[in-house]
Every structure is written in structure tokens, then in C-alpha cells.
Chain A
């Protein structure tokens, strides 16, 4: 969900950006990261742990912890919390360690 009224901040959202999460079309805004756009759309499970396959979400949101790794435009292990959202991005839940090349 987006914050609409805030006592101190005014959120000027940029243009709408269309992207795909596991094939489903989602709308975010210019200025979003992949993770913020997903969260706003109600997606909190971003991946699964490598060995026990437990659900994973973001933790630090500033690029430190790697809890938010996903496959973006075919590239695995992308820290989605600091990756700016771009038009027509494909974002996928990553199973396992991901392909390196």
C-alpha cells in the first residue's frame, strides 16, 4: 500500500512503470526500487532460502544483507532493495543459488 497523507513528507510519484513479477503484470512508479514496488503491491515473500526453502523477505532495505535476492531480467542474485525499477523488468522468485552465467 502507498502512503497518501503524511504530516511531514509529500510523495511526488513519478511516471507509472509496468513490470512483471513471476509473469504477473504489476504497476510501480519511477523512483521505486524493485522491492518497494513489490511491497506496495502486497508482495512480501521475495524468495526462499537455499537449503531449507523457507520464505525470505527483505531485512535491511539498503543493500547490506542479501535477504532480498531475486532474479531480475534473467540475472540471478540481484539485491532488489537497491535496484531501481525499470519499465518491462521481469522479476522472478529465485530457487536455489541461481545461475551465475
Chain B
């Protein structure tokens, strides 16, 4: 059977930094990425990132993927990257199975780092399964990666950063945004919200989707006001003639592979759903499996990258590939994470991590 030191599942920011760390520690690394491109969610981010200097803040997201790949290229004799490669399973004996461009392969790595990212959530309403009801991230992929116009006119559901940023990017691609609605209030940054409001898009708080109407695909969206118990208030309907509805109602960590590999999971709503129990080294309860990025709890690319750097170092150390500057790097990364999570917007996140880790952040 094929073998290697470390397999990394997912080539997003967390997977790439994990690979940089592990390879620079001397380990042999194989990355499997299911998409035709490397970079995860970064490749569709055309906006300037927030975060801090060390994680490339104020650079456009898709450029960050290039920087990471350039860095990884320094270790190219240690690193193999496979695209169009979906990891299908991680078995008890540590064997992983992969659909590599239609070919079924097996591999037995010494350690595995799972950095699969997250899944876009959906909310229940009549018609939510019609073609034209799309994840906001999906629409972003279609327009920014493939250059295809997703629709003519959309209703955006959710006013977090993703809903706001994707609305702006839809307009850049020539799509009309009828309105942005949110159940409670705007949770994204107000700089984004005011920019969009200035462009004439109404942002309505206290609304939900009542129904999406359409024969074969979305033709009309009906929204209505909700009361404190989330019941629809009769007589408050607003109708929009739209051909798409984008949902940006949150993400949940993509943990299926971990569940299969007997990593213990715990439901923590502040982190987006089921997350793996892990220690400060980002090791799960299956001692050969490490995690990094959105799979450990929904955060940002900045923290995903730092977690990846940590998991790459610790997984490599486990197989006696110890980075020359291991101790300094680890403590620097832990400080960076504390810094990233210390802001006023991160209250819920801190609560979630507290629930997961107890005293050991």
C-alpha cells in the first residue's frame, strides 16, 4: 500500500499552512483536495481581508492562496498536491480511501490532518429546494471562480459578513440585489453594511422567508415580518420578483470524516455545530488525527491559517520531524490565535471555545 508521513485532507488555508509547517519540519506531505483548484474558500474572495498583518490582512483573499502556494513551493520535493481528489473515508486501521480523478486509491499515512472546512447551512421554508435557492458561497464560487453570472436579481437572506460581502460582489458582477433580510439584526461589520445601503439596497431586519414560488425554479420570493416567537405576522408580506435567493445563514463544520474515524465530537452551537474534541496541539481523540481551520469551529481564514501552522508542527513532531524553532513558533502561533480571538466581535466564539476546552484554551 502507498504510504507517506502526513496526509492533509483539504487544500484550503488551513490545509496549506499545515503542509508548510509539516514540510518545513522535514516531513513528507500529501494534500488531497476535492476541487479542481487549491485554496479552499480563499479563491473566491475578491475583497480585502480583515484580520492582522501576519495573516495577510488587507490583501485580497484569492491572492493569499497564491502566497501560500508560493511558500509551499519551497518544499516541493517533500510535498505532493492532488486536485480532483475527494477523501472518501478514514478507517480504523488508519487507511484512507480517495477518489482521485475517478480512480479509487488507498493510502496508509503515519498521521492525518483533516482540514475540510465547512458546509453552508439551509433554513426551512416552502420552496427551499427549488433550483435558484443557492448558498451565498455557491453563488460566489460561480461568479468569482468561473465567471458565470448566477442570476439577474436576487434576494439575500442573512446579514452577516458573508451575506453583506456576497451582496456587494453580486452587484460587481452586474446582478441586482433586491434586498437583504435578516431575522434579528445586522451581524456583519457595519462598514460593509453602510457601503451596501449607500448603493441603494434595503437591509430589512426582523424578516424571514415565508415562501419561494416557482414551477421549475425560483420565480418569486415572499418575505414577512416575524414576532419575538419567530411567528410570521400576517399582513406584512413583501413580494420580490427574483430569479434567485441566496442563503447566508451560517456554516457548520464538515466533520463527517472525523465521525467515521472515531474522533469524539461535541455539539457546540457557538462554534457552528458538531466539532471535534481536540487539545492545544490540535490533536483529536484519535491520536493519529489532527484538525485545523473551520472544521474546529467556524472562524476566519486568519485563524484557520494559524491553526494549520500549529497542526502541521505538532503532527510532524509526533513522527520525530521536529522543526528547528519548534518551541518559539508554537508559542508565537498560540499568541496570534489569542490576539485574533480577543476582539469585541469574537464574544460568542470565545464562549464556544471555553465550552470545548474548559480551562485549556
Given A6-B173, A8-B172, A44-B217, the answer on whether A60 and B148 have CB atoms closer than 8 Å is: no
What 0/1 readout, one digit per residue, does chain B (22-54) give for beta carbons within 8 Å of chain A? Answer: 000000000000111000000000100000000
Tell me if A1 and B148 are in contact (CB < 8 A): yes
Q: Which residues of chain A are within 8 angstroms of B254 by Cβ–Cβ distance?
A: 64
Tell me if B144 and A9 are in contact (CB < 8 A): yes
Tell me if A84 and B148 are in contact (CB < 8 A): no
Residue of B nearest to A63 (CB): B34
Number of interface residues of A (CB under 8 A): 35
Tell me if A60 and B135 are in contact (CB < 8 A): yes
What is the distance, in angstroms, from B116's C-beta to the closest C-beta of chain A?
A: 9
Q: Which residues of chain B are within 8 angstroms of A3 by Cβ–Cβ distance?
A: 143, 147-149, 173-174
What is the distance, in angstroms, from B262's C-beta to the closest C-beta of chain A?
A: 22
Tell me if A8 and B148 are in contact (CB < 8 A): no
What 0/1 readout, one digit per residue, does chain B (240-260) give for beta carbons within 8 Å of chain A? Answer: 000000000000001000000
Tell me if A9 and B134 are in contact (CB < 8 A): no
Residue of B nearest to A58 (CB): B138
Tell me if A36 and B142 are in contact (CB < 8 A): yes
Of B129, B134, B148, the residue contacting A36 (CB under 8 A) is B148
What is the distance, in angstroms, from A77's C-beta to the closest C-beta of chain B?
A: 12
Q: Which residues of chain A are within 8 angstroms of B35 by Cβ–Cβ distance?
A: 62-63, 82
Tell me if B134 and A59 are in contact (CB < 8 A): yes
- Quick check: is A94 within 8 A (CB to CB) of the other chain? no
Q: Which of A13, A44, A46 has the most CB of B within 10 A?
A: A44
- Quick check: is B150 within 8 A (CB to CB) of the other chain? yes
- Quick check: is A33 within 8 A (CB to CB) of the other chain? yes
CA distance A61 to B129 in the complex (A): 15
- Quick check: is A26 within 8 A (CB to CB) of the other chain? no
Tell me if B122 and A59 are in contact (CB < 8 A): yes
- Quick check: is A40 within 8 A (CB to CB) of the other chain? yes
CA distance A73 to B132 in the complex (A): 26
- Quick check: is B133 within 8 A (CB to CB) of the other chain? yes
Tell me if B148 and A2 are in contact (CB < 8 A): yes
- Quick check: is A50 within 8 A (CB to CB) of the other chain? no
CA distance A40 to B146 in the complex (A): 9
Tell me if B172 and A6 are in contact (CB < 8 A): yes
Residues of chain B whose beta carbon lies under 8 Å from any beta carbon of chain A: 34-36, 46, 60, 84, 86, 119-120, 122, 129-135, 137-139, 141-144, 146-150, 172-174, 216-217, 254
Question: Which 3 residue pairs spanning A and B have beta carbons closest together?
Answer: A57-B131, A61-B138, A11-B147
Please list 7 pairs of residues, one from A and one from B, whose beta carbons are closer than 8 Å in the complex, sorted by A's number.
A9-B147, A40-B148, A55-B131, A59-B122, A61-B134, A63-B34, A64-B254
